[in-house]
Structure 1
Amino acid sequence: MNEKIKNILYVLILLLAISYMSGCEQSDTYQDVYSDESEESRESHDFSDVTENPIATIELANEKTVDIELYPEKAPNTVANFISLIESEFYDGLNFHRTIPGLLIQGGDPYGNGLGGPDYSIEGEFDHNGFDNPITHERGVISMARSQSFNSAGSQFFITLSHEPDFDGQYAGFGQVIDGIEHVDTIANSKTDNSDNPINEVIIERMTIDTKGYVYPEPIHY
């Protein structure tokens, strides 16, 4: 088995193993609750009147930035959630806790170990969860990390560095890097420990959002 395939299999296991502080304990009625609420979230966010997509900017050290165009019409509640977290300064000071060269970088965990989140979870807006999301995981796509539950995403996200079709339909892609992808490559090439955690922390100094004047609602979460 070549190294690329091993890395892909490894990261799939890691992404599926992510467990948030809330949303990972399932009761017998868990899936039924999500089925009802999912319909509400899909009906509540209609962004067809958005004329210009919002731009999120990740500010790194040495004034390096990564600009990401978000797609509210394709993953509405996911985008609303990301914008809400940015506006609340949730991501400021957090690190990228998992980096794999040529595959992805992952961040957005307040604990920095893959186990944290915002103490809530949102619906997974992707095909295998009954949601029509046309975004494919090409190089530079930003997507939500989650645990085994389809509806367990919260704040953790990853950015792909190559076309990863195995992620399509399984994870909620919601945007695309439009500038600064070379900085994502640099982060991915960081020297890491055995858990793919960079030995020298890579910090998100600040994250900002330009909504182009549109007022986005708060996300529906559980």
Structure 2
Amino acid sequence: MRSRTWHFRRPWPAEPQRYERVTAVLHTNLGPLELHLWPQTVPYTVDNFVALARGTRPWRDPETGVHRREPFYDGTRFHRRVPGFVIQAGDRSGTGTGGPGYRIPDEFQPDATFDRPFLVAMANNGRDSAGSRFFVTLAAARHLDGAYVPFGAVRDPASRELAVAIATAPGEVLIERVTVDAD
């Protein structure tokens, strides 16, 4: 049996853009969801998220195949919403399997656990296959430990309430735009 080796297409630099502090706000049709990201712990993952949100990293349009350089997350929807467990977004195709046309390597941290709700992590299709899809946990989910890379958290109470509301909303929940404050 042959083991599968992932080949990464490197749209990111050899060294990620380093940040001291990063806050991202997902402006949804239900209100703003504020995320505090962890650039000191997972610099490549945070750099990738920031670059996609700002439109500074090229990505491949799933409909046309054309490479674009504009905000990736604007206009996407929460394609997976499981009350009491998770909300997930970051797929322009809306299928839950799409991405930006490239993969980033995992930045697993030995002490990173899903031991509490409201953690933000990259979704993937297996090891080293993350790209743009991300999720927010709504409860502790220890079965996710070691399989996904947490890269931030939802901290303020209003955003936590909104995350829970997104999971149970009767209609589609869109990310209208994403703003990032990073230094």
State how far apart, in whole Å, the 1-side matches of 2:105 and 2:173 are.
29
**Counterpart in 2 of 1:140?**
118
**Is 1:166 matched with 2:143?**
yes
**Is 1:68 matched with 2:5?**
no
State how far apart, in whole Å, the 2-side matches of 1:84 and 1:45 are.
10
Corresponding residue SS for 1:170: coil
Report Cα offsets for 1:110-163 as digits up to 9, x if no partner.
01111211000000112xxxxx35332221100000002x11101000000011
Runs of 4+ off more than 6 Å: none
Q: Which of residues 97, 110, 121 is equivalent to 2:92?
A: 110
State how far apart, in whole Å, the 2-side matches of 1:190 and 1:30 are.
40
Change over 3 Å in CA distance of 1:46–1:107 after alignment to 2? closer
Question: Could you say which structure has the higher helix fraction?
Answer: 1
Q: Which of residues 155, 163, 170 is equivalent to 1:184?
A: 163
Corresponding residue SS for 2:73: coil
**Counterpart in 1 of 2:128?**
151
Change over 3 Å in CA distance of 1:56–1:133 after alignment to 2? farther
1:86-105 aligned at under 5 Å gives the runs 86-88=53-55, 89-105=71-87
Corresponding residue SS for 1:56: strand
State how far apart, in whole Å, the 1-side matches of 2:33 and 2:155 are.
8
State how far apart, in whole Å, the 1-side matches of 2:4 and 2:141 are.
33
**Counterpart in 2 of 1:57?**
25
Query: What is the TM-score when the length of structure 2 is the normalising length?
Result: 0.80
Question: Could you say which structure has the higher strand fraction?
Answer: 2
State how far apart, in whole Å, the 2-side matches of 1:101 and 1:30 are.
35
Query: Do the aligned residues in 2 keep the contact of 1:125 with 1:171 (CA within 8 Å)?
Result: no
Query: Do the aligned residues in 1 keep the contact of 2:119 with 2:154 (CA within 8 Å)?
Result: yes
Query: Do the aligned residues in 1 keep the contact of 2:17 with 2:47 (CA within 8 Å)?
Result: no
Q: Which of residues 167, 173, 176 is equivalent to 1:202?
A: 173
Change over 3 Å in CA distance of 1:116–1:171 after alignment to 2? same
RMSD of aligned residue pairs (Cα, Å):
2.2
Task: Report the Cα offset of residue 91 of structure 1.
Answer: 0.3
State how far apart, in whole Å, the 2-side matches of 1:119 and 1:101 are.
29
Unaligned runs of 5+ in 1: 1-26, 127-131, 192-199, 215-222
Is the radius of gyration larger for structure 1 or structure 2?
1
Amino-acid identity (%): 37
State how far apart, in whole Å, the 1-side matches of 2:103 and 2:131 are.
5
Query: Do the aligned residues in 2 keep the contact of 1:123 with 1:153 (CA within 8 Å)?
Result: yes
